[in-house]
Homo-oligomer: A and B are copies of this chain.
Amino acid sequence: MEMKRRLLFFHLFFLLVKLQTSSSTSCSSSCSFDSEPAYQQQEKDRVLELPGLSVNVSFEHYSGFVTVNEESGRNLFYWFLEAVEDPSSKPLVIWLEGGPGCSSVGSEAERIGPFSINPDGKTLYLNPYSWNQGFSYSSNPSEYLTNGDKRTADDSLVFLLKWFERFPQYKGRDFYITGESYAGHYIPQLAQAIVRYQSSTGQKPINLKGYMVGNALTDDFNDQLGRSEFLWATGLISDQTYKLRNTFCSHASFVHSPENCSKISDVITLELGNIDIYSIYTPTCTSNVSDSDIPPKRRYVGNINEEYDPCTLQYSGIYFNLPEVQKALHVNPAKWEFCRPAIYTSWKDSATSVLDIYQELIASGLRIWMFSGDTDGVIPVTSTRYDIDALRLPLASPWRAWYDDGQVGGWTEQYVGLNFVAIRGAGHRVPATKPKLALVLFKSFLSGNPMPSLLP
C-alpha cells in the first residue's frame, strides 16, 4: 500500500543511452533479432530483479539493445519502465542525457528514475520524486569517434521505429521527448526527423505530441552571450575575464571551442575555484567514495524532503559497474562511465543553432517547453532567455512566479507555441538538484497545464 501511494504519480517512461555502440556479436541475450516475434523479444528484455532492491515494485521494466546499424554494429541501449497506474493509457516519455557522450543511465539514479542508489553503491532506495523511468559498451570503439548530431538523430529515429516493433502495444500512444544539456540538439533534431519521416511515409507509428528541454544548448551565439553575462552577474569571474570571454568566445562553438576561447576557459576554471559549475551554490562532493560498505559523509542541501547529495554520480559509478547489475540489465560486462570525454572531443557535426528547427516544429503544433535550472553556470538561464528572445514569438501569458508547497518554485512565461519555465535554485541537472520541483514541472508539461499558481 505504501508502495502504491509512493508510485501513484509515475508515468510511463523510458530512457536510452545515446551515442554508445556495440557490434552485434557483443550483444547479450537482449539484442534485437528482427525475425523473432515481438513478445519473445520483450520477454528477453524484462528485468526480473535488480540487485540491491529490497522491496517489490508494482511496475514492469525492460532493458536491452536495439540495433540501429547492422553494418557498423551500432546498438542503442534502453531502459523502459512502465507506469504503475493504468499503464495501458499513460503517455510514453523518453529522457535523453547530453554531453555529447553522457549516459542516460546516470539520470535514472539522479532522481528521474524510481531507483536511487545508496552511498554504499550497492543498495537501492525508492525515489519519491521519480518520473517513472542507459548503460553501454562497445566492442567497436572507433564508432565512438565518428559520431555527430546528424547520425544521432538518424540512429535515434531507427531506434524508435524498431522499439515500437518490439513493443507494438505502444504504437500510437502519446509520445513526448525530454532531456537536458546537449540533448538540446538531439531533441529538436529527433523531433524533426520523426515529423519529416512520418510525413514522407504517410505512416504514424510514433504519435509525437511534444518535447521539453532543460538548460539546453540551442544556439551557440546566444548561449555564449548568456553564459558570459551569467558568470559575471553572479560574481563568479573577474571583470577582466568577462571582457576577454566576450571578445574571444562570443562566436565560438560550445563543442569545438577555438584555442583563444579555450585559453579563457582555463582562466575561468582558475577563477571559479573548486565549485560545481553545474550547480553554483551547492557543495561539491568531497567524499572519497569507494567500493566499500562504509557510507561516506553526505552533504545535503535544501529542505529535508528535497535533499541533494552531490556524490550521487559516484554511487552510480559503483552500482552500474557491479557485474550482477550489468547482468540483470542484460548487458555484457563493460566499464560504465557517466560521460566519455573522447566522445565529446571527437564529436563531428554540431549545429551552430537549432532555432530554425524550433520555428519549423512550433508551426507543426507540437507542445514545446524550455526549462532552466536558474543556478546552472554551464548553459544558464540567461542563455535560454536570449534563445527564446531570438525566436520573436508573440507573448501569450506574462512573466509570473509559479509555486510549490506555498513557496516560489520558479518563474514562467508563455509564448505562442512555446512555454518557458525557470526552476528556482536548481542546477544544470534539474531533477538531481531539485527533484520535487522537477516532478511538478514534468506533471505540468505532460498535462499541458500552466505551472501552478499560488492558491488564493
Contact = CB atoms under 8 A, between A and B. Distances in A.
B401 A271 contact: yes
Given A303-B300, A303-B301, A425-B281, A239 B389 contact: yes
Contact of A229 (B233, B238, B425): B233
- How many copies the complex holds: the figure is 2
B241 A399 contact: yes
A94 interface: no
Interface stretch (A6-14, A81-89, A246-254, A402-410): A402-410
Nearest to A284: B407
A274 B401 CA distance: 8
Contact of A399 (B237, B410, B413): B237
Contacts of A398: 238, 271
Nearest to A381: B235
Given A281-B375, A303-B301, A425-B281, A408 B235 contact: no
Interface in A320-377: 372, 374-375
Contacts of A411: 235-236, 271, 273
A355 to B, nearest CB: 17
Contacts of A303: 283, 299-301
Contacts of A234: 233-234, 374, 381
Contacts of A381: 233-235
A232 B286 CA distance: 33
Contact of A382 (B233, B403, B410): B233
A151 interface: no
A196 interface: no
Contacts of A401: 271-275
A235 B385 contact: yes
Contact of A372 (B233, B235, B275, B403): B235
A407 B286 contact: yes
Contact of A238 (B241, B406, B413): B413
A272 B399 CA distance: 9
Contacts of A235: 372, 374, 381-382, 385, 410-411, 422
A454 interface: yes
A204 interface: no
Interface residues of A, number: 52
A425 B271 CA distance: 17
Interface in A280-303: 280-281, 283-284, 286, 299-303
B399 A454 contact: no
Nearest to A425: B281
B230 A403 contact: no
A406 B301 CA distance: 16
B301 A385 contact: no
Given A233-B230, A302-B301, A424 B274 contact: no
Interface string A411-442: 10100000000101100000000000000000
Contacts of A256: none
Contact of A400 (B273, B385, B406, B407): B273
Interface of A: 229-230, 232-241, 270-275, 280-281, 283-284, 286, 299-304, 372, 374-375, 381-382, 385, 389, 398-403, 406-408, 410-411, 413, 422, 424-425, 454
25 contacts: A229-B229, A233-B233, A234-B374, A235-B372, A235-B382, A235-B411, A235-B422, A237-B399, A239-B389, A240-B399, A241-B399, A271-B398, A271-B400, A272-B401, A273-B403, A273-B408, A273-B411, A274-B401, A274-B403, A274-B407, A274-B408, A281-B281, A281-B424, A281-B425, A300-B304
